[in-house]
Structure 1
Amino acid sequence: MVDWTALPLDTVYEGEQLGRWVQAQRAGRPGLEEDQRDLLTAIGIDEDPELVAAKAAAEAKPKVSRTDRFAPGLAALAQFAEREGHVRVPRPHREPLATVEAGPGGEDQVVVHQVALGAFMNNAKARRAKLTPGQLAQLAEQGVEWA
């Protein structure tokens, strides 16, 4: 019988990502139907409690809405525009953006995030049809011509 726990994650067999598939089965086993679990057991693929816990933790994280993801990009753009005097952001540019967040003891602390501003601008332009009128107006206020 094969020791599936020793299979490297990047194993590919006949063009299929076998290593990733095995890991997904071991992590998602509790969510499978009984007959699917029986088939995995028959070929020796068992549940991995650590992978199951990691998957559950990842799924428990709150989803960030498109609107919430827009705000840091807009703040970084405003900072960039104020400093540079224009909004022609190079594609690879990352803008350091300081925010105040609650620390582990509840006290406020300043955290600096690197916002991929060039990617944000590129994606916003490519997906401008999906932006709200308010978001387009905010971009236009910063001097973005296509908004």
Structure 2
Amino acid sequence: MSQWDTADAGFEQNLGAARAYHELHGTLAAPRGAAIMDVQVGQWLTNIRRPGGLGKDPVRAARRAAQLAAIDPDWNPAERGWTVDWQRHNAYLTQLLTDGARPAAIVPGVTRHGDDIGRWLASQRRNWDRLNAEQQRRLAELGVKKAPPARKALSKSTVASGPRAGGEAFQTGLKALRQYMAREGGMPGRAVVEQLPDGTEHRTGIWIGNQKARRDKLDQAQLAALAEAGVDWAAG
């Protein structure tokens, strides 16, 4: 058996696992740690989405991409302009609505396959203007609308009027947090380092952990800013 035949056999085996995952989850936007049929299908999908991940031969790569698209047209979300996490949450939201749920009933705490779809949905509505046109179109087709501006405007006013709206370091952390949550739809893990538009890096995961640890020392303006950004513990 040639090296190419071996590679094709391996691809077909993994493709079978991908089909099984899609049958169970309705999407190929698997998290990296996902496994099925003794195949680390999440890591495999991560690998093949990378440039050149489908092989160096363009004909073979095109054939493999077509096989994946036949299972899930959105198997490679980066081509659409969003992340795998966004695609998975959107797929699960679609499934919940198809099952009869109404958008208004999908609140934080409503989950599917372990993902908090309600929390993600609230973030999409709140950060609507940061979504691209196709993301907005897909959500609108599901009956999702941009969050009313009144509460957001009030929160911004509150933050602006506070005597210590957090200082420069707090505002930088808040900016990084908002950027991450708008893109990923959830809170950053402790290891997350966010790159800001000016090219600087911010340890956003550690920063939000520190804010939570010193919650009692944050003033109302800071708490309001965090709550507006979607931080659950700041709103309580």
TM-score normalized with structure 1 length: 0.45
Larger Rg computed on CA atoms: 1
1 or 2, which has the higher helix percentage? 2
1 or 2, which has the higher strand percentage? 1
TM-score normalized with structure 2 length: 0.28
Task: Answer 1 or 2: higher relative contact order, Cα 8 Å, separation at least 6.
Answer: 1
